[in-house]
Amino acid sequence: MGGSLGEGVLSRAAEEGSVPRSGFRRVEGRLTCRGVELEELAAEFGTPLYVYDGEGIEEQVARFQAVFGEIPFLLAYSVKANGSLAILDRIAALGAGADIVSAGELERALRAGFPPEKIVFAGVGKTRAELIAGLRAGIRSFHVESAGELESLSRVAHEEGRAAPVGLRVNPDVESPTPHAYTRTGHAASKFGIPVEEAEALYRNRADDPNLDFRGIDVHIGSQIMEAEPYLRALHVVLGMVDRLAASGIRLEYLDLGGGFGVGYDGGAGLDLEALAREVIPPLAERGYELILEPGRTVVGEAGVLLTRVLYLKRSGIKTFVITDAGMTELIRPSHYEGFHRILPVRESAGAPRVIADVVGPICESGDFLARDREMPLPRPGDVLAVKTAGAYGFTMASNYNARPRPAEVLVEGAEAHLIRRRESVEDLMRGETIPPRRASGRAPKRPGSP
């Protein structure tokens, strides 16, 4: 497998937005990942199939570390974006930390080799068992999202005989212009974070609690944000808080500005990290705080594609439907967030007429689609399509709805393809289920009044 990269190929790749952020390139009309042909991967491992560009992921981690590394900095990769062990392993190996939201993600992160002292734990509904798990693991900090959670954490820490490291997640009441309301988390009406005044009071009132060790402060204002400006507004709020707290003797170690840095779903550039760093670094350097960032999408988004095979074409009324073997169960972003993903033929076909089509999956939901009213070359049944920029919130949000096994995942590294997760089987789906013995009559007795 492989191919050489000619001039024309490079310019085409640039047109498709695949340069320089990802290793997906079109070579002689066929899409490749670092020299590995995607069509061959589809044939070998079947479809739907997630394919990840390992080098692309590593480059993104290194980019964050280079751009923000001028001051003490921890990249806490947001595991929810893509929590596959092989991916986590590569990110951990680069010295990054992890941002987690459940005991399950904690276990994944630890198993993949993230040192506990580089793990931060967010989430509005951590259970007692999750607080205990985090404490026992020795994580860097709990990002506490309510007064009630702080109370529970203090109690659990007391029982466990060790102080809990804490950063309050503050809701700065910042409107972030994300593409969908569901990905905005920094405004007052959001369930996330603690309002500024209340958070400040909690820092002050609980400063002497021997079970709590206040280490930092956290904000996360949303996801797929394309401009630095909302981050700067949140930073302004948080700096005001830490300055007031420091003036009253409560000194924190770190400021966590969350994740959400936008990527180029349309093939363009994502958020300008360098521009953001120019604004964020000086006030932190001046005050001597460590910076934590929690990117997920930016690290893995562009480094993943979802390969899907066209099953049928259908024309109905005014619509053309391209029916594929992947749908909302494999990639829910289009349906859930109205997320846009480019969809490219893996093999170009010169004479294909251009059409406007809905690309839909086999799931029994009208909301099951990968694209709507998309202008594209008309594929033929059997063709493989690549759904681009699918590395984040693709597999992790996949479901078994309609009793569909989740897809396989392949990691390409050094021009080799590794199967990092086998395709689920139908047997996997029924694991853990039991059927209790039927009652003697075999049917429920009629309740009075029931038909």
Verify binding: residue 82, ligand PLP, rule CB under 6 A.
Answer: no
- The token pair at 278 is 């120019």
Report the distance separating Cα 164 and Cα 74, nearest Å. Answer: 20
Those residues whose C-beta lies under 8 Å from the C-beta of residue 155, and which sit 6 or more positions away, are 211
Q: Residue 219 or residue 385: which is nearer to ligand PLP going by CB?
A: 219
CB of 307 to ligand PLP, least distance (A): 22
Burial class (CB in 10 A: 0-12, 13-18, 19+), 98: buried
Give the chain's length: 451
Those residues whose C-beta lies under 8 Å from the C-beta of residue 222, and which sit 6 or more positions away, are 176, 178, 183, 184, 185, 186, 230, 260
Report the distance separating Cα 223 and Cα 221, nearest Å. Answer: 7
Q: How many residues bind ligand PLP (CB under 6 A)?
A: 18
- Considering 189, 247, 350, 364, which one is annotated as catalytic? 364
Given the structure tokens 């049944």, which residue do they identify?
381
Report the distance separating Cα 115 and Cα 98, nearest Å. Answer: 9
The correct pick among 22, 78, 154, 176 for binding ligand PLP (CB under 6 A) is 78
> Backbone phi, then psi, for 263, in 5-degree steps?
-115, 165
Binding mask 110-129 for ligand PLP (x = CB under 6 A): ------------x-------
Give the gyration radius of the chain's Cα atoms. Answer: 24
Binding mask 83-102 for ligand PLP (x = CB under 6 A): ----------------x---
Q: Which of residues 400-429 bind ligand PLP (CB under 6 A)?
A: none
The correct pick among 18, 32, 146, 223 for binding ligand PLP (CB under 6 A) is 223
Report the distance separating Cα 282 and Cα 70, nearest Å. Answer: 10
Binding mask 381-400 for ligand PLP (x = CB under 6 A): -----------x--------
Q: How many CB atoms lie within 10 A of CB 382?
A: 8
Q: Residue 81 or residue 245: which is nearer to ligand PLP going by CB?
A: 81
Q: Residue 383 or residue 409: which is nearer to ligand PLP going by CB?
A: 409
Verify binding: residue 294, ligand PLP, rule CB under 6 A.
Answer: yes
Verify binding: residue 220, ligand PLP, rule CB under 6 A.
Answer: yes
Q: Which of residues 251-270 bind ligand PLP (CB under 6 A)?
A: 258-261
CB of 281 to ligand PLP, least distance (A): 19
Query: Could you confirm whether 33 is annotated as catalytic?
Result: no
Stretch that binds ligand PLP, among 28-36, 77-85, 236-244, 399-407 (CB under 6 A): 77-85
Verify binding: residue 193, ligand PLP, rule CB under 6 A.
Answer: no
- Percent of the chain that is helix, strand, coil (3-state, to 5): 35, 25, 40
Verify binding: residue 171, ligand PLP, rule CB under 6 A.
Answer: no
Given the structure tokens 């993104």, which residue do they identify?
60
Between CA 196 and CA 207, with CA 201 as vertex, the angle to 5 degrees is 125
Verify binding: residue 37, ligand PLP, rule CB under 6 A.
Answer: no
Active-site residue set: 364
Residues near ligand PLP (CB under 6 A) are: 78, 80-81, 99, 122, 220, 223-224, 258-261, 294-298, 392
